Amino acid sequence: MVEHTGGEAAGDAGGADGVAEVLDRPLPEGIRRRVVGLVAEAFGGLTVAELPPQLRQYARFTPSRRAKFAGNAMAAAVENDAVFRQRISARLREGGSELAEALDAGSPPAAADPEDVAAMAYVLRPLGWVKLVTAAGEEAQRAGAERAGQEAQRELRQLREELAAARAEARTDSDRARAELDAVRKEAEAAQRKLRSAVSDVRRGEAALRKAQAELETVRSAAATEKTAALGEARRLKARLAEAESALEASRRAVREGRSVEDMRLRLLLDTVLDAAQGLRRELALPPASVRPADTVDAVEPGRMTPKDIANRALSETDPALLDQLLALPQAHLVVDGYNVTKTGYPTMPLDKQRLRLLGGLAMLAAQTGAEMTCVFDGAELAAPVLLAPPRGVRVLFSKAGVTADELIRQLVRAEPPGRPVVVVSTDREVADGVAKAGARPVASALLLKRLART
């Protein structure tokens, strides 16, 4: 039996002198693989109890899986466990193997594979088994050496062929590389000549460019100087022209406004005087210039006020009829402080609703009385432009930026000719006092609200 650690193992069969046969060398690997294959085949014929403890876990494996996973364990058991080896030998003999029978008879077949004979002899341990194993090992070594030599010769021939092919290919590549290198050198020389020519052209172009840039900078500097002088002269001329145009327009406007305003004031004052004279004649019941007999009869004509009516003309400052009397005067002009009236009458409404409500009432009042009406709102109260169509008979004005509605009302009063009846509606005492000094008649906002509520 093989001792892989270099020791000796006792054989099952003794020699002629009764000494056990011993294998004095390691079991060749090829013979060992075949021993494992024989044990794996005979393994399945044994019960679990007949197996060594270390091999019982492989009892259900197939022979190929036993040889794969338990090869080392089975080889060690055959080598060290004589009982297990004898049981395996018995299974091989029971299998009717011709090789086993021939070995037991002491005459192995001459045509059998030496490694198969050695593996069977190693397991069965017939007389002279060590010689069989040794001879098979030597034969296997010789065959292996021959195969190795043949393989080496074959590899050598292949390497020589590959070397010859590589040398031929190298020569071909070398020739091609030389040709390509010559072509590249020629191309490089041509490229260098072109590059030198291009560099020379670029240098000449750069010199010409620098010269042109210097000339351009000179021209630009001169043009900028001339442009600056021309722009300065143009600005001075434009300033003079604008001053002249402004002065001309101011003089034209002054002449036009002075003439038109004076004509308008004169015409309006004349109409006012005429209407006032006719009204005064009716109020005083003056007789006409030419008296007729029928006109001397004492009677009250339709539409004429009686002395009793004249006596009752004094009205309270809070009576809406007072506003009717004022608007009945000839060429009367009613100026309304818009937000003063709306915030007195309906302050909780939004500003746009306040404006619409007031202007609707003033439109009805204008239609009833025929008086001129102007409603003034403070422009500072506006958060956005107002899209408003003024009602018929009512002029709607908003004060400009930096000008209050109170100042705009005073400007309207000052623009009217002296003697024209102007009524200003505002609760603001400063506004009332200012327009009163200018000749207008101030009334409270509550009076207008009462009059509009009656409409």
**What's the whole-number average pLDDT of the chain?**
78
Higher-scoring residue by pLDDT: 2, 210: 210
Domain boundary residue, one of 127, 148, 169: 127
- For 407, counting Cβ atoms within 10 Å of its Cβ (0-12 exposed, 13-18 middle, 19+ buried), the class is middle
**Residue 308 has which token pair?**
């009793």
Domain boundary residue, one of 127, 161, 182: 127
**Is residue 71 scored above 90 in pLDDT?**
no
Mention every residue, 6+ apart, whose C-beta is less than 8 A from residue 322.
315, 316, 443, 447
Q: What pLDDT band is residue 422 in, cutting at 50, 70 and 90?
A: very high
CA distance 181 to 4: 65
> Is 102 domain-assigned?
yes
Higher-scoring residue by pLDDT: 14, 385: 385
> Is 416 domain-assigned?
yes
> Is 405 domain-assigned?
yes
Can you tell me which residue has the tokens 């009302």?
409
pLDDT attached to residue 346: 94
Higher-scoring residue by pLDDT: 397, 55: 397
pLDDT attached to residue 15: 42
Share of the chain above pLDDT 70, in %: 75
Residue range 123-133: average pLDDT? 74
- For 321, counting Cβ atoms within 10 Å of its Cβ (0-12 exposed, 13-18 middle, 19+ buried), the class is middle
Q: What pLDDT band is residue 386 in, cutting at 50, 70 and 90?
A: low
> Is 91 domain-assigned?
yes
Q: What are the angstrom distances between the C-alpha of 202 and each of 189, 192, 403?
A: 20, 15, 72
Q: What pLDDT band is residue 91 in, cutting at 50, 70 and 90?
A: confident
pLDDT attached to residue 68: 80
The residue range of the domain holding 78 is 29-127
Domain boundary residue, one of 127, 150, 179: 127
> Is 382 domain-assigned?
yes
Q: What pLDDT band is residue 75 in, cutting at 50, 70 and 90?
A: confident
> Is 346 domain-assigned?
yes
Residue in 114, 186, 106, 174 with CA at minimum distance from that of residue 144: 114
CA distance 164 to 169: 8
Per-residue pLDDT tens digits for 282-302 = 666 555 544 444 444 444 344
Q: The domain spanning residue 391 has which CATH number? A: 3.40.50
Q: What pLDDT band is residue 101 in, cutting at 50, 70 and 90?
A: low
Contact assessment for residue 2 and residue 90, using Cβ atoms and an 8 Å cutoff: no
Residue range 365-369: average pLDDT? 92
pLDDT attached to residue 156: 87
pTM over 0.85: no
DSSP track, 292-327: -GGGGS----TTPPPHHHHHT----TT-HHHHHHHH
Mention every residue, 6+ apart, whose C-beta is less than 8 A from residue 371.
327, 332, 333, 334, 365
Q: What are the angstrom distances between the C-alpha of 57 and each of 37, 40, 46, 86, 90?
A: 18, 13, 13, 20, 22
**Is residue 16 scored above 70 in pLDDT?**
no
CA atoms within 13 A on the CB side of 90: 10
> Is 122 domain-assigned?
yes
Per-residue pLDDT tens digits for 149-175 = 778 888 888 888 888 888 888 889 888
**Is residue 14 scored above 90 in pLDDT?**
no
**Is residue 10 scored above 50 in pLDDT?**
no
> Is 236 domain-assigned?
no
Q: What pLDDT band is residue 44 in, cutting at 50, 70 and 90?
A: confident
Per-residue pLDDT tens digits for 370-381 = 999 999 998 866
* DSSP label of 13: S
Residue in 116, 113, 121 with CA at minimum distance from that of residue 13: 121
**Is residue 11 scored above 50 in pLDDT?**
no
**Is residue 34 scored above 70 in pLDDT?**
yes
Contact assessment for residue 102 and residue 108, using Cβ atoms and an 8 Å cutoff: yes
pLDDT attached to residue 96: 66
Higher-scoring residue by pLDDT: 203, 98: 203
> How many structural domains compose the chain?
2
Residue type, 160: R
